[in-house]
Amino acid sequence: MLLTRSDGRRIRSLPPMQKIIPYIMRSRAASINLFQEHVDCTPLNNYICAHEVNGQRTMSTMHLLIAAIVRVVAQRPQLNRFVVHSRVYARKDIVVSFVVHRSLRIEDGGTTIKAHLQRHRESPPNCPDHQRCYRQRNRLLRYAEQHR
């Protein structure tokens, strides 16, 4: 079809209030909500330490934050929408992108990693793509380590 998008499908059955929002907030900057929050990360750090294998950490805070974001977006698909020309679309997959810096100096630049994640119909142990997901995760980790 001529007016279809490869990255999402158009949502036509929105409540009236949600239909007018793209006309009120015309730009991306108009629809940004910023806030500051202090979070106690002690339980998170305890969880990471509890899952060490032979004294080696198998995950980091970044892994858990990405997993939490992906899980929330998968459970609430209305968060994974975008607007083009005042039309609302739902994304077909979940995309997580972040920048990996070689050093802590901003001037050094970084490498952008963009992971496309597709929804699974089955739980991980029964999912045929379960091992492929772990291989993709390990590939991303190796790439991030090489470009530090």
Q: How many residues does the chain have?
A: 148
- Under the banding of pLDDT at 50, 70 and 90, the label for residue 114 is confident
Q: Which of 99, 101, 90, 96 is nearest to 136 (CA)?
A: 96
- Under the banding of pLDDT at 50, 70 and 90, the label for residue 22 is confident
Q: State yes or no: pLDDT of 82 exceeds 80.
A: yes
- Integer Cα distance of 141 and 148 in angstroms: 11
pLDDT tens by residue, 84-113 = 888 889 888 888 888 888 777 777 778 888
Whole-model pTM: value is 0.66
* Strand residue runs (E) in the chain: 8-10, 81-84, 87-91, 94-101, 110-117
- Integer Cα distance of 107 and 127 in angstroms: 43
Q: Which residues pair with 101 in a beta bridge?
A: 110
Q: For residue 107, what pLDDT is reported? A: 79
Cα-flanking dihedrals φ and ψ of residue 128, to 5°? -65, -20
Q: For residue 52, what pLDDT is reported? A: 83
